[in-house]
Amino acid sequence: MRRCSWAEADPILQKYHDEEWGCPVYEDEVHFEALSMEVMQCGLSWLTVLRKRDAMRLAFSFFSPEAVAEYDDADVQRIIRCDGVIRSERKIRAVISNAKAFLRVKEEWGTFSSYIWSFTDGKVMRYPSHAAGTETVSRNELSDLISADLKSRGFSFLGSVTVYSYLQSVGIINDHLSYCFRSQDP
């Protein structure tokens, strides 16, 4: 069974690739977790973030946006003291701020999922040059557009490159390579 080359290096990456990466997500809490993990990833390897995910879930109330939006300075300090988390105060504060913005989007759109999928009319985006491996990108017009819209709504730490990675993770962009066993997944 062949998979995207980035996922071959470690069993944790393999499991993430095989079971999560690129699977279309419609549950709001999964979207919030994915956005939050991307915020935490800035400057780190994805493997590092995955290794810390369980600790991050515990520290951030299993990424319930309603719970995280209520966090205060004491919660920031509590998270910084937690074992196994990414201890960046700026990133922790960004996740909390993003939870508040996330809830405003939910209020306006009914669900965050409805909002985020509206950018593609509910369709998974596939780029033939990406699947062929002839073009590697870290951002595109879609991620530029979504990043700008998220920022206008009060989100932070979500530039176009981070948003592109998020869109891949939640299956809005299917960037599995053509030889990958997951390339034709919905």
Query: What is the SS3 string spanning the chain?
Result: CCCCHHHCCCHHHHHHHHHCCCCCCCCHHHHHHHHHHHHHHCCCCHHHHHHHHHHHHHHCHHHCHHHHCCCCHHHHHHHHHCCCCCCCHHHHHHHHHHHHHHHHHHHHHCCHHHHHHHCCCCCCEECHHHHCCCCCCCCCHHHHHHHHHHHHCCCCCCCHHHHHHHHHHCCCEECCCCCCCCCCCC
Given 33, 38, 115, 166, which residue is catalytic?
38
* Annotation says 16 is catalytic: yes
Q: Are the C-beta atoms of 34 and 169 separated by less than 8 Å?
A: yes
Given 21, 33, 46, 71, which residue is catalytic?
46
* Annotation says 46 is catalytic: yes
* Annotation says 127 is catalytic: no
Known catalytic residues are 16, 38, 46
